[in-house]
Amino acid sequence: MLPMDKVTTSKEADTKDIVQTTLGKVRGKEINGVLRFTGIPFAEPPVGDLAFKHPVPKKPWDGVLDCLTGSNNPMQGPGHKVCEYRSRDCLYMNIFVPPTGLDKYPVSVWIYGGSYTNGGVGRDGEDPDKLVYDLSRFAAETNTIAVCFNYRVNIYGFLNLHFLNPDYDQNCGIFDQIAALKFIHENIANFGGDPGNVTLFGQSAGASCILAMMAMDEAKPYFHKAISMSSYPKSFWTEEESRRLTMFYLKKVRIKPDELDKLKDLPADVIKRAGQQLKTHVYAIHDLRCAFSPVIDGVTIKKAPEIACRESDKPLILGTCWHESDIFTSDIPTILLPAAALYYGLKPGKRKGRRERLSDEVSEILYKAPMRGIEDNYSGDCWVYEYRYMTPEIKAGINRCFHSSDVAVLLGINTVFTRSDDPESDKIGKRLRKIWSDFAWNTDPGWNSYTSDKTIKIIE
């Protein structure tokens, strides 16, 4: 149900900051020349009987809905503190319209990562204008309409309960994304966007979701190009594997299989604690996948996305960071590095350079080898890059160019992982945004496709 203080029921003259959607009118506001609509609902709140269900279309509203501040973020699991203002009522999107006043813009849609456990695009901090992902600068410099949206994560997005009760749907988090893409398809023209030119770009778990959707009939009509940043495409569970993990999780929260309704209102601290226990369990069995990964159930996701996506002919950019796994291995005490190598199934190696070799070998296993499998067998045109730039704060630490260090630089924001507000990072960010813009506008990022001559663009 919409908060009444967000709905203006009196008649309003249409202006550029009021846009008609299929559900009702929304009001945005202009900040630094970019027209922002934040907190647009695209589905009914997934609470109560709608929890653990695929998203249900939002009911229309009367009057004008004020979309002026960030929404809630999804309920978060264990891990880095990425999002505050969490709620089960989280299915909202943000739209950023650049200031150039064109009649029809390409559309760039950002899908966040977070190991399928954390993440969101809502409000971040006490300032109501501050967002986890503010795409204002990205929209202005790419001259595209930039869109981002929440999707459910951890138990509400990816815990497999369907085998216990068919009323509980599978892979809800990905179907949230599809519902958002459908809303964009049906409404973006009214914001000045071209529904026939939509580029998805996402990082980590978000990138892997994009690869999955490239093979899903429910999603394919709603986008035309894709950019996959640092995907770990093997992080999907089989049906049998997911069932074992579900039973482990239920045991940790002390809920019996015939008491699933109790999951709908679990306290946030219980969700985090049990999620951490599941994550520890997955590591203990020497599995490198994310604990709440999507499930290849043969129905919603029919086969492994890293294989299925190869059949697509949508133009595709694939990218990795130079030393992806530094973010995972940098905190391992030196004395434990040999044991860590054995855990990953690798040889301990010589003492000198052991940490760097471990990181590089894990990067190869998780990211680079799977990407080559897609690049070498992709049906359409694909372009490949490797991101090697290190911000000053990264250079000052023990990490190198690690997983997610490109996100802040690309979007022109600061994140929990790195900043982008120094002159050199700003310069690299402008180069990245030019690449993303050229791909959205002309399907040409500025270098030869890997399909044609195995070119790999180095960005440093």
Domain residue limits, the chain: 4-238+294-314
DSSP conformational letter for 130: -
Per-residue pLDDT of the chain in tens (460 residues, 90 and over written 9): 455 456 654 445 458 899 999 999 999 999 999 999 999 999 999 999 999 999 999 999 999 999 999 999 999 998 766 567 889 999 999 999 999 888 899 999 999 999 999 999 999 988 888 999 999 999 999 999 999 999 999 999 999 999 999 999 999 999 999 999 999 999 999 999 999 999 999 999 999 999 999 999 999 999 999 999 999 999 999 999 999 999 999 999 999 999 999 999 999 999 999 999 999 999 888 888 999 999 999 999 999 999 999 999 999 999 999 999 888 877 777 787 788 778 777 776 666 678 888 888 889 999 999 999 999 999 999 999 999 999 888 888 767 889 999 999 999 998 877 888 899 999 999 999 999 999 999 999 999 999 889 999 999 9
Residue 289 C-alpha from the chain's centroid: 16
pLDDT of residue 325: 87
Q: Are 167 and 51 in contact (CB under 8 A)?
A: no
Phi, psi angles (nearest 5°) of residue 314: -70, 135
Q: Are 150 and 245 in contact (CB under 8 A)?
A: no
pLDDT of residue 331: 74
Tell me the CA distances in angstroms from 150 to 108, 132, 260, one per residue in order: 15, 11, 24
List residues bridging with 387 in a β-sheet: 321, 459
Selected from 3.40.50.1820, 1.10.3720.10, 1.20.810.10, 1.10.230.10, the CATH number assigned to the domain covering 4-238+294-314 reads 3.40.50.1820
- Specify burial of residue 369 (Cβ count, 10 A radius: 0-12, 13-18, 19+): exposed
- How many helical (H) and strand (E) elements, i.e. helices and strands, does the chain have? 15, 16
Spatial distance between the Cα atoms of 333 and 398, rounded to a whole number of angstroms: 13
Which one-letter amino acid corresponds to residue 288? L
Spatial distance between the Cα atoms of 286 and 295, rounded to a whole number of angstroms: 19
Which one-letter amino acid corresponds to residue 121? V
Say how many C-beta atoms besides its own lie within 10 A of residue 244's C-beta.
14
Using DSSP's 3-state secondary structure scheme, residue 68 falls into: strand
In degrees, rounded to 5, the angle at the alpha carbon of residue 389 between the alpha carbons of residues 383 and 390 is 150
Q: Are 303 and 314 in contact (CB under 8 A)?
A: no
Instruction: For residue 267, give every residue at least 6 positions away whose Cβ sits within 8 Å of its Cβ, in sequence order, or none.
Output: none
Give the residue from 190, 308, 298, 290 showing the smallest Cα distance to 245. 290
pLDDT of residue 414: 87
Phi, psi angles (nearest 5°) of residue 364: -65, -45
Tell me the CA distances in angstroms from 122 to 87, 196, 209, one per residue in order: 10, 27, 20
Q: Are 130 and 70 in contact (CB under 8 A)?
A: yes
Give the residue from 325, 156, 308, 166 showing the smallest Cα distance to 232. 325
DSSP conformational letter for 387: E
pLDDT of residue 352: 65
Q: Are 175 and 85 in contact (CB under 8 A)?
A: no
Q: Tally the C-alpha atoms within 13 A of residue 284's C-alpha that lie toward its C-beta.
A: 7
Spatial distance between the Cα atoms of 438 and 434, rounded to a whole number of angstroms: 6
Q: Are 75 and 136 in contact (CB under 8 A)?
A: no
Give the residue from 276, 1, 300, 2 showing the smallest Cα distance to 168. 300
Write down the pTM of the prediction: 0.94
Spatial distance between the Cα atoms of 325 and 319, rounded to a whole number of angstroms: 15
Spatial distance between the Cα atoms of 62 and 190, rounded to a whole number of angstroms: 18
pLDDT of residue 248: 97
The pair of structure tokens assigned to 442 is 């002309």
Q: End-to-end alpha-carbon separation of the chain, Å?
A: 48
List residues bridging with 386 in a β-sheet: 320, 458
Spatial distance between the Cα atoms of 436 and 383, rounded to a whole number of angstroms: 12
pLDDT of residue 394: 84
